[in-house]
Amino acid sequence: MDEEDYRELGLRVGLEIHRQLKGRKLFCSCPAELNDEEHPFEISRRLNLAESEMGEVDRAAEEEVRRGKTFRYQVPKGVCLVEMDEEPPRGPNPEAVKGALVIAHMLNMKVVDELNYMRKIVVDGSNTTGFQRTALLGVDGFVELKGGRRVGIESLCLEEDAARIVERGEGEVVYRLDRLGIPEVEISTAPEARNPEEARELARRIGEILRRSGVVRRGIGTIRQDVNISIKGGARCEIKLVQELSLIPKVVRWEVGRQLRLLKARDILLERGVREEDLKGEVEELTHIFRETQSKIVRRVIKRGGGVFGVALPGFSGLLGSLPGDDERCLGPELAAYARARGVGGIFHSDELPSYGIGEEEVERVREALSLGKLDAFVLVVEVEEKAREALKAVLQRARMALNGVPEEVRRALPDGKTEYMRPLPGAARMYPETDIPPYRIDEDKVRSAREALPEPIDVAVKRLVERYELPQQEAEVLVREGLDGLYQRYASSHSRQAVNTLFLRGRAAAGEVGVSFSDLPEEVLEVVLKAVDEGRIAKEAVEEVIRRSLE
């Protein structure tokens, strides 16, 4: 597709970029450092759902609670009672506020007079409280892309980062509390990127500004990028964890194609006269049909006490697999994702059968047992009864959604650019006021202090690198735009110029090969490599390989 095609589709793309700030944690005095040493103890929690002050329940939180998970938290040294939700928060950290103000100025934003913290419901276990504390700091900004086009920055929030996942198990997730509470900014752009490549350019430009600010943390895991995508007639879907710039165009193209397929499937269903009430059938037990099956999967589950359960999907035949002229599957993966969210491994559906050891005769007997017509489909789940019935109810729920086209969802980006379902998109009921943190006044002195901390103009920094270090103009511009000029000057003051140039030239190439920005490499890694080159312990030709291995 070209730009005109995307314009006709009404493509709208916006970004949410989260970047950790330097300094201590946001609401306590604990160090903001990850700690992989042995942890002295653990705590366990289960999170339950409560109504908002308006009597509403957030749909995303409701979905998470249904999964019934237990959360275990590793408590390393350097973590206090605030992170464990055993003591009220202090704060916010003035250094973090100043850093966020610097970024707001660089994004041409209007700054609020007062920080008022809100609680954003999060019941996936990533916060011991069941919510994330966040405050609006700036609004109505913009960035300029190549060619001078402006894209709006709707908001900048100062918030706490979540705990990091250590391990996922069946019915349990293990987190570590060292990351919880690290200050971060959340930057939300207007949905004004017009095509996949412009979305990548927008992310690149914001990343350049953040690195240039001098107030953000460096290193892998300090930045997260989410992409919001919609087309005309579709719905906004938030794609989480699109970490690499090169992945953004792939994700946008995939999501556009997915939404087009769902809209086409909707039109076919409506042409066939399918109604919501047709998709409220009973879950049927069909184990007797598969007593002599050749399917190893089915035999194994039946042997351990499970069974085969199914539902009819009137009018869905041919829509679960690939649509004519399209290699990608349509509704099958959508239904399977909702089933997996209820704890089953997956589904079998009629558009892919006979297969997996399930024979033609068994398929026909299922169709007969469910009283299916020519245009009807079915879905099977092979599991213990309670879990299977819950999964198939979720399948029916998602099938009913198909009559409206594209549901609003939070989805996860996969390495190949495809996406998969995570949970429904949160609604307004997700937010309510924070009662433990008093309003924080942003007076003129704080604003002036932030302005004085702004980095020098790019052309001034480039000129100094060219004149003082004899760098080529183009190389100097790259260092400045990536926020590496300060690091370069620091290293050049204590190491040979040749070693520093080798590190920055070959190191950037190695980082790019594995999809990581050189500016996000941990400084401790860079310092070790630089010292080894300077002392002649490794050849300059080996720098790329050393850095690549450090990222494995």
Q: Are residues 189 and 125 in the same domain?
A: yes
DSSP designation for 470: -
In this prediction, residue 52 has a pLDDT band, given cuts at 50, 70 and 90, of: low
Q: Are residues 370 and 499 in the same domain?
A: no
Q: Work out the average pLDDT over 363-374.
A: 97
Q: Are residues 231 and 288 in the same domain?
A: no
Q: Is residue 445 situated within a structural domain?
A: no
Q: Is residue 174 situated within a structural domain?
A: yes
Q: Is residue 40 situated within a structural domain?
A: yes
Work out how many domains the chain is built from and give that number: 3
d(CA 378, CA 536): 67
295 neighbors 358 (Cβ within 8 angstroms): yes
Please tell me the least confidently modeled range out of 179-183, 248-252, 488-492: 488-492
Q: Are residues 361 and 506 in the same domain?
A: no
d(CA 288, CA 274): 30
Q: Are residues 57 and 159 in the same domain?
A: yes
DSSP designation for 15: E
Q: What is the pLDDT of residue 209?
A: 94
- The answer, yes or no, to whether residue 546 has pLDDT greater than 90, is no
Q: Are residues 230 and 307 in the same domain?
A: no
If one counts every other C-beta atom within 10 angstroms of the C-beta of residue 101, the result is 26
Q: Is residue 207 situated within a structural domain?
A: yes
Q: Which CATH number covers residue 294?
A: 3.30.1360.30
Per the prediction, the chain carries an average pLDDT of: 93
| Percentage of the chain lying above the pLDDT 70 cut | 98
Q: Are residues 285 and 165 in the same domain?
A: no
> Helix or strand or coil: residue 194?
coil
> Helix or strand or coil: residue 145?
coil
Q: Is residue 446 situated within a structural domain?
A: no
Q: Is residue 438 situated within a structural domain?
A: no
69 neighbors 125 (Cβ within 8 angstroms): yes
Instruction: Provide the token pair at 295.
Output: 């399917």
* Residue reference for tokens 């059968």: 353
Q: Work out the average pLDDT over 476-486.
A: 89
Q: Are residues 398 and 491 in the same domain?
A: no
Kindly report, residue by residue over 67-116, the tens digit of the pLDDT. Answer: 778 999 999 999 999 999 999 999 899 999 999 999 999 999 999 999 99
What's the domain range around 218?
A: 3-236+427-433
Q: What is the pLDDT of residue 51?
A: 67
Question: Exposed, middle or buried by CB within 10 Å (0-12, 13-18, 19+), for 535?
Answer: exposed
d(CA 286, CA 368): 11
Q: Are residues 53 and 197 in the same domain?
A: yes
Q: Are residues 16 and 122 in the same domain?
A: yes
Q: Are residues 30 and 142 in the same domain?
A: yes
Q: Is residue 225 situated within a structural domain?
A: yes
Q: Are residues 277 and 207 in the same domain?
A: no
* Residue reference for tokens 């989260």: 18
- The answer, yes or no, to whether residue 57 has pLDDT greater than 80, is no
Q: Is residue 255 situated within a structural domain?
A: no
**Closest CA relative to residue 180, chosen from 76, 64, 37:** 76
Strand partners, 139: 110, 155
- Which pTM was predicted? 0.89
In this prediction, residue 520 has a pLDDT band, given cuts at 50, 70 and 90, of: confident
Instruction: Provide the token pair at 385.
Output: 């009864």
- The answer, yes or no, to whether residue 549 has pLDDT greater than 90, is no
